[in-house]
Amino acid sequence: MFAGATAEEEAERGASVAVLPVGSFEQHGGHLPLATDTLIAEIISRRVAVDYNLFCLPPITMSCSHEHEGFAGTVSISASTLVAMIADIRASLTRSGVHKLVMVNGHGGNYVLSNIAQEANVAGAVLGLFPGADDVGSARQAAGMVTTAHEDMHGGEWETSILLHAHPEVVRPGYRDADFEASDRPYLHALGMGGYTKSGIIGRPSSATADKGRLALDSLSSSFGDLLRVLEG
């Protein structure tokens, strides 16, 4: 259960850094749920919050999923709304004495989070964005994944493995037959996912295993420590 701690427990923890899962509510083909990105952001956030004794917030469950519209179930909010939500959350945390935040992003389409972090950190590192491309690359390698992040863009080996490890009950058996390749997608911003895949999948979910998901999370937790050291100075 997310945010299961009490006020007394958080006061005792006295964390100076909070972790915010940022997910989405969008199609992930026929084998993964609409809440996939939120689940994965929350899985990573809970893991690092436990490992580093941080304040774990409940997730943002809808974000910028406009490239997936046209597929049943996808719901988006505007980038400006997401910016305002992050700003409000940071302001509230600051008033309660928590001055640093890490956004754990589960959705690749949330490009605006990079701009939010860059602007917030002009006067010093106070807002982290995790995982970065290097963190994911290291985790994929540590897990022995056979695909790259580019070719395994959506609903593939990475996402399916993490959910097979942490929430196997949400993964439908069809993942073994859902592979779809679309590595060349130069006009994704113009055409959306529907311009490159009818199933909504771009990647190789058939290669996913629970062990790969476990090893990927171990690697991500280790990489998170490097970011935390930057924020804590």
Predicted local confidence at residue 4, as pLDDT:
81
Q: What does the pLDDT look like over 79-136, one tens digit per residue? A: 999 999 999 999 999 999 999 999 999 999 999 999 999 999 999 999 999 999 999 9
DSSP letter at 158 equals H
Residue 1 has pLDDT above 60, yes or no: no
Predicted local confidence at residue 204, as pLDDT:
98
Confidence grade of residue 34 (pLDDT, cut at 50, 70, 90): very high
Q: What are phi and psi of 151, to 5 degrees?
A: -75, -25
Q: What does the pLDDT look like over 136-147, one tens digit per residue? A: 999 999 999 999
Residue 222 has pLDDT above 80, yes or no: yes
CA distance 122 to 113: 15
- Of 38, 27, 23, 40, the closest CA to residue 217 belongs to 40
Cα dihedral 61, 29, 49, 85 in deg (nearest 10): -20
Rounded to two decimals, what is the model's pTM?
A: 0.97
Predicted local confidence at residue 169, as pLDDT:
98
